[in-house]
């Protein structure tokens, strides 16, 4: 990724993250819009780590759908909390390729660390299927 291309993605995501933090809209809905915008950028070669960013936001928005783990009554609250945390974190990164890479790495690890077991059987990494199914 070139630093010259980063402002395109950075500026795009900045706008959505500011919307998340203003609190006037459902954070999950804002992230859904962001994912659609990132999909439009993915075919371009100069957009940096748009695919890594898309994966993170897809995982965060999937929480509200109970995937890969249903948090029952806390599902929506957890999704909104994680998305707001991701927004705060995004707005605090250095505005360059290294900042984006570190953000993607940090959030990929955080999403992977969310509880994903049910009765000792793992969900994550099995395409939504419980181990043994």
With a CB cutoff of 8 Å and minimum separation 6, the contacts of 128 are: 67, 68
| pLDDT of residue 124 exceeding 50 | no
Alpha carbon distance 61, 130 (integer Å)? 20
- pLDDT tens for 72-113 read 788 888 889 999 999 999 999 998 888 989 999 999 999 888
| pLDDT of residue 2 exceeding 50 | no
> Which of 128 and 88 is assigned the larger pLDDT?
88
With a CB cutoff of 8 Å and minimum separation 6, the contacts of 39 are: 54
| pLDDT of residue 12 exceeding 50 | yes
């Amino acid at each position: 990724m070139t630093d010259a291309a980063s402002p395109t993605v950075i500026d795009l995501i900045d706008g959505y993250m500011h919307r998340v933090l203003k609190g006037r809209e459902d954070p999950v809905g804002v992230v859904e819009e962001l994912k659609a915008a990132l999909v439009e950028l993915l075919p371009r070669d100069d957009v940096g780590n748009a695919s890594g960013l898309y994966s993170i936001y897809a995982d965060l928005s999937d929480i509200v759908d109970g995937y890969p783990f249903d948090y029952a009554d806390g599902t929506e609250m957890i999704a909104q909390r994680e998305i707001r945390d991701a927004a705060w974190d995004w707005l605090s990164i250095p505005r360059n390729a290294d900042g984006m890479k570190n953000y993607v790495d940090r959030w990929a690890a955080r999403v992977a660390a969310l509880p994903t077991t049910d009765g000792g059987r793992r969900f994550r990494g099995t395409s939504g299927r419980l181990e043994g199914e």
